[in-house]
């Protein structure tokens, strides 16, 4: 330990440009660690700041295994294996940028990662890498590792870590946990569910360069619906009632998706186990707080009040290239273009348990306004302002109870529903109040 402290003291001294002696720093570091009992990382940063230095100059992080990671690490080192890696483009202010994301693993577990700077990065599935100066955040209760500007990555020999074995290192495989569709959450594994197949199709996909056959579609029980992917032919067909044991849950934009493969078992059950397809096809009514805990869901109904109409609602113009909504008649990516007119609403719907952004497309917006896109364009020209349409929508919708139906996704900005159907919510307040009061008085009588 003392030896390790000496190394860290050297790192601090270097970050301070050598203006404080290593011996002095070592004493201070011991003091922070043993008397004040702060973490090594915090201690190092505090000492650098105390002497007027910049903590980002520190090079030597604290080495941890995946199990030891906590959210909010400022600088952490790891030795791990790339379990999976993928790239995508994200929208950022002033354009788009490439990032890499995937899963890291070591003998203690796995953790998702994102690399925000991809220039010069070259690693592949299965590589063992030494990570320095990564940082962690929490996303939906899970630690996430981030590689930023200061992070350095170096390849190590593949035998520096034992090979990754799926399912190992996390939970030992025991009997599967029975769950209802509504309880499926990202990361659940070894799950058993009893469901009815609503639809299924066979598709060919590319997975890491290999062609694979996948059967995908929709499953449902009385609590809700979920999309599924079966990586083996279990010969299931629509309206089958089945029990799936040993499935796992991944998420796409927060929506839980159920997967199962050759390690899972599928058995057919009596049709009477679950309600009929027509019954299960109905969209269940959900509370937004439950959607927030689940991360998203397909085809649900939310009842709430519109409490705001966001900017970018009403009459908008889209880039003909990328369909992004133009700001001041310019696209973020393609500059000044001849925009194509469109109507949409981004409404904040709040049901008292949570809030989501409900996005209404052109047809629904025309229905709400009771006029066509063309009429809106004419009005905007007459009033010399696009905002006139948004103001009309605000007049119509703000403080209006609504019922909206659609798929709900989530990202860093919260929950979003792409609305498939909407109606003005009419509630018989008197009847509901009477029922509640009777229930209340009933309770008092029995108490």
Which DSSP letter does residue 161 get?
S
Is residue 433 at the binding interface for another protein, with CB under 8 A as the rule? yes
Site string for another protein, 231-260 (x = CB under 8 A): ------------------------------
CA distance 343 to 213: 39
Q: Which of 162, 163, 166, 352 binds another protein (CB under 8 A)?
A: 352
**Residues between 308 and 337 that touch another protein (CB under 8 A):** 308
Which residues neighbour 393 within 8 Å (Cβ) at sequence distance 6 or greater? 309, 313, 314, 345, 365, 368, 369
Which residues neighbour 263 within 8 Å (Cβ) at sequence distance 6 or greater? 167, 246
Full DSSP string of 374-432: HHHHHHHHHHT-THHHHHHHHHHHTT-EEEEEEEEEEETTEEEEEEEEEEE----HHHH
Is residue 355 at the binding interface for another protein, with CB under 8 A as the rule? yes
C-beta of residue 241 within 8 angstroms of C-beta of residue 274: yes
C-alpha 70 chain-centroid distance: 19
Backbone angles phi, psi at 334, to 5 degrees: -105, 10
Q: Which of 24, 293, 321, 374 binds another protein (CB under 8 A)?
A: 293
Shortest distance, position 287 Cβ to another protein, whole Å? 8
Sign of CA dihedral 362, 363, 364, 367: positive
Q: How many CB atoms lie within 10 A of CB 314?
A: 24
**Interface segment toward another protein; rule CB under 8 A; list 94-102, 161-169, 348-356, 374-382:** 348-356
Is residue 441 at the binding interface for another protein, with CB under 8 A as the rule? yes
Q: Where are the alpha helices (DSSP H) in 182-271?
A: none
Site string for another protein, 403-432 (x = CB under 8 A): ---------xxxx-----------x-xx-x
Is residue 353 at the binding interface for another protein, with CB under 8 A as the rule? yes
**Interface segment toward another protein; rule CB under 8 A; list 2-10, 183-191, 273-281, 395-403:** 395-403
Q: Do strands 177-178 and 191-207 pair parallel, antiparallel, or not at all (unpaired)?
A: parallel
Q: Which of 292, 297, 347, 369 binds another protein (CB under 8 A)?
A: 292
How many residues of this chain interact with another protein, rule: CB under 8 A?
32
**Residue whose CB is less far from another protein, 121 or 418:** 418
Q: Which of 289, 311, 336, 374 binds another protein (CB under 8 A)?
A: 289
Is residue 440 at the binding interface for another protein, with CB under 8 A as the rule? yes
**Residues between 133 and 162 that touch another protein (CB under 8 A):** none
Which DSSP letter does residue 273 get?
G
**Interface segment toward another protein; rule CB under 8 A; list 79-87, 101-109, 385-393, 397-405:** 397-405
Residue ranges binding another protein (CB under 8 A): 288-289, 292-293, 305, 307-308, 348, 350, 352-357, 398-399, 401, 412-415, 427, 429-430, 432-434, 436-437, 440-441
């Amino acid at each position: 330990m003392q030896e390790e402290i000496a190394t860290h003291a050297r790192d601090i001294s270097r970050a301070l440009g050598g203006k404080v002696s290593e011996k002095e720093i070592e004493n201070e570091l011991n003091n922070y660690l043993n008397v004040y009992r702060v973490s090594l990382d915090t201690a190092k940063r505090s000492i650098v700041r105390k002497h007027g230095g910049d903590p980002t100059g520190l090079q030597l992080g604290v080495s941890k295994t995946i199990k030891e990671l906590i959210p909010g690490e400022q600088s952490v080192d790891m030795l791990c294996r790339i379990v999976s890696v993928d790239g995508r483009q994200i929208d950022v202010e002033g354009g788009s940028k490439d990032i890499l994301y995937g899963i890291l693993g070591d003998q203690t577990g796995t953790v998702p990662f994102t690399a925000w700077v991809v220039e010069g990065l070259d690693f592949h599935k299965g590589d063992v890498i030494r990570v320095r100066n990564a940082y962690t955040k929490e996303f939906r209760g899970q630690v996430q590792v981030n590689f930023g500007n200061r992070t350095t990555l170096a390849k190590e020999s593949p035998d520096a870590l034992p090979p990754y074995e799926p399912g190992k290192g996390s939970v030992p495989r025991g009997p599967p946990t029975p769950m209802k569709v509504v309880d499926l959450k990202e990361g659940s594994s070894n799950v058993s569910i009893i469901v009815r197949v609503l639809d299924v199709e066979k598709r060919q996909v590319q997975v890491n360069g290999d062609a694979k056959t996948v059967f995908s579609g929709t499953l449902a029980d009385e609590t809700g619906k979920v999309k599924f992917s079966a990586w083996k032919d279990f010969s299931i067909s629509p309206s089958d009632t089945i029990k799936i044991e040993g499935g796992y849950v991944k998420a796409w934009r927060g929506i839980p998706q159920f997967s199962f493969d050759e390690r899972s078992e599928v058995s057919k059950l009596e049709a009477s186990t679950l309600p009929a397809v027509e019954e299960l096809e109905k969209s269940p009514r959900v509370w937004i707080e439950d959607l927030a805990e689940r991360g998203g869901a397909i085809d649900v109904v939310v009842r709430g009040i519109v409490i705001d109409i966001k900017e970018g609602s009403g009459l908008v113009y889209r880039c003909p290239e990328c369909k992004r909504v133009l700001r001041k008649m310019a696209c973020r990516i393609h500059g000044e273009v001849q925009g194509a007119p469109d109507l949409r609403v981004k409404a904040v719907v709040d049901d008292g348990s949570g809030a989501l952004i409900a996005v209404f497309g052109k047809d629904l917006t025309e229905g709400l306004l009771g006029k066509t896109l063309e009429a809106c364009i004419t009005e905007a020209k007459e009033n010399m302002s696009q905002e006139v349409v948004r103001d009309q929508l605000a007049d119509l919708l703000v403080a209006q109870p609504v019922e909206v139906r659609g798929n709900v996704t989530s990202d860093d900005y919260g929950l979003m529903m792409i609305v498939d159907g909407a109606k003005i919510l009419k509630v018989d307040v008197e009847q509901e109040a009477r029922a509640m009061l009777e229930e209340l008085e009933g309770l008092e009588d029995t108490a």
